[in-house]
Amino acid sequence: MKAFLKTAVLALVLAPMAAFANEEVDVKITGMTCGACSAKVEKELKALKMIEKDGVKVELAGNHAIIKVKKNDKATQDAIKAAVKKAGYEVAAIEVMKPATEPATKTN
Ligand SMILES: [Cu+2]
């Protein structure tokens, strides 16, 4: 009984943390026209501390960036917008992507 209780408490403590760890967000960016543009955006995004190392993938052709964030909240999204703006571009939208365990259903 005691062991069961410990497990239950541990699960309750860990569950909310897991929900916030390493979420992927899809950042729609407007204004990028060449490799130098996407490189600038990538550099600014990589400088953010709430983003995973090697967790930035800017796709020029798709006008977006896929970013792994340590904690996805309003402050993080504002920081992402500020970084893109600092590079000289605008964020059109930020979408939270489905966890990797679920198959992606987006087609665009
Ligand atoms: Cu350019």
pLDDT digits (tens, 9 = 90+) for 44-97: 999 999 999 899 999 999 999 999 999 889 999 999 999 999 999 999 999 998
Residues with CB under 5 A from ligand 1 (ion): 33-34, 36-37
83 to 16, 72, 105: CA distances (angstroms) = 28, 15, 28
- Domain 20-96: which topology? Alpha-Beta Plaits (3.30.70)
CA neighbor of 25 nearest in space, from 93, 85, 82: 93
Question: Mind listing the pLDDT tens digit for each residue in 55-67?
Answer: 999 999 999 999 9
Q: Quote the pTM value.
A: 0.72
Instruction: Give me ligand 1 centre to Cα 11, in Å.
Output: 48
In single-letter form, the type of residue at position 35 comes to G
pLDDT confidence band for 22 (50 / 70 / 90): confident
| More confident call, 103 vs 29 | 29
Instruction: Give me ligand 1 centre to Cα 18, in Å.
Output: 37
Instruction: Assess whether pLDDT exceeds 70 at residue 4.
Output: no
Instruction: Give me ligand 1 centre to Cα 14, in Å.
Output: 43
Instruction: Give me ligand 1 centre to Cα 34, in Å.
Output: 4
Instruction: Give me ligand 1 centre to Cα 40, in Å.
Output: 9
Instruction: Give me ligand 1 centre to Cα 15, in Å.
Output: 42
